[in-house]
Copies of this chain bind each other. A is one copy, B any other.
Amino acid sequence: MASTTSASAPESEIRKRVPIPPADPVLPPPPVLKPNYVHISEQPYTLANWYKHINWLNVVLIIIIPVAGCTAAVFTPLCTKTAVWAFFYYAMTGMSITAGYHRLWAHRSYNAKLPLRIVLAAFGGGAVEGSIRWWAAGHRVHHRYTDTDRDPYNVRRGLLYSHLGWMVFVKNPKKAGRVDISDLNADPVVRWQHRNYVLVLVVMAFLFPMCVAGLGWGDWKGGLFWAGIARMTVVHHATFCVNSLAHWIGDQPFDDRRSPRDHVLTALVTFGEGYHNFHHEFPSDYRNAIIWYQYDPTKWTIWLMKKIGLASDLKTFSQNAIEQGIVQQRQKKLDKWRSRLNWGVPLEQLPVIEFEEFQEQAKERALVLIAGVVHDVTNFVESHPGGKALIQSGIGKDATAVFNGGVYEHSNAAHNLLATMRVGVIRGGMEVEIWKQAHREHKDTVIAQD
């Protein structure tokens, strides 16, 4: 049945949680704990143990080989044919990571026929980012525990950590998150590639690109260093950017509770994976970009594979759910903006005064009564767009009707401005209602002066 990757939570974590029943079909039994054992990652760095903190296999694959190979490439003449082939192979292996490792296997956002799966597994292996099984499991953990300690490429630990560092340092497997990968184990292509990963890596990353250039136009050296290692290095950093840059720069149109962001630059570098805010909200959508002009070649490729019959069941989230996210996110931003503006003293905090008192005070400063609220317009009389005379005609009076269409139906802006000039509330304050009633009954109540 279901299987899981890596071990489970440490003792202290377990105590805080409710116990796991052993009969659970999806998750493994609780781990047997060795009480005094401290994992290397929990120990301080010393001269004696520092090398144990380093994952040397990864260091060789993502730092030493790339540095050595790129140095060699610089001293290898680059002929046009090899350049074109390197670029083409870069796109092939890169897209096998995004369309294969990521959208197909990690997220099952579509189904792929056997030939396509074999191609994606082979070229994806040539990108030197681990087996599908390892990669997809880690990626699922990343989605499940984004931005937490259990997130393997937790961006909260820094940009460099999420880009590379996470592979360089040895981690405590007990701290890793767990996910269901039964569907991956059920795929023979995944199983075969995982078992024979070293072979796949050597052949697809180095031998194949070298042989194509060597047998094709005799450029064995260029094939190895340019189409092989330099190309691999570029694919590495391009796809690593999804874990670093896409959690660092850009907008958050769908949700801002977690770090993923949408940015066209990241998308350009990562074959369309840069619309990462969308992707974390709607992970099983085969698209990362939803607008036609956004750059998502991985989406276009999957769509093309469907057209030629190699892919099917392309999953999309409902347009409704996507728009709900946008609406809520915009609402959040709008609320933040609104709270920074001055909307006037809240009515319930204003002093309540009598109408007579209002009239008395209006002799000293320019007070206007509108809709039961007293406004001090002293500083506005001179700059009133409707003229000094008109606004002065309302001083010491109930100008509700005058303000609301009796003389001029003031704009929304005028109402906003007015609210910022509030200074008091009139006891009773029902003059408007009286006027409205009189108006309805065609009585000659002279309140509006027009």
Contact = CB atoms under 8 A, between A and B. Distances in A.
Contacts of A26: 389-390, 393
Q: Which 4 A-B pairs have the closest CB atoms?
A: A284-B385, A324-B416, A281-B413, A255-B412
Nearest to A283: B385
A408 B145 CA distance: 8
A60 interface: no
Given A107-B385, A385-B284, A450 B27 contact: yes
A449 B325 contact: no
A416 B280 contact: no
B17 A325 contact: no
A7 B295 CA distance: 62
Contacts of A389: 2, 25-26, 180, 182
Which size bracket describes the interface of A in this complex? 35 or more
A262 to B, nearest CB: 15
Interface stretch (A112-120, A312-320, A348-356): A312-320
Nearest to A435: B18
* Most B-side CB within 10 Å, residue of A18, A317, A412, A416: A18
Interface string A132-163: 00000000000010000000000000000000
Interface of A: prevailing SS = loop
Interface string A65-95: 0000000000000000000000000000000
Interface in A344-401: 383, 385-387, 389-390, 393
Per assembly, the copies of the chain total 2
Interface stretch (A47-55, A216-224, A263-271, A335-343): A335-343
A445 interface: yes
A50 B99 CA distance: 73
B321 A416 contact: yes
A417 B18 contact: no
Given A315-B383, A325-B416, A327-B338, 7 more contacts: A18-B447, A21-B449, A257-B412, A317-B417, A321-B413, A323-B337, A334-B334
Contacts of A42: none
A19 B327 CA distance: 49
A450 B20 contact: yes
A427 interface: no
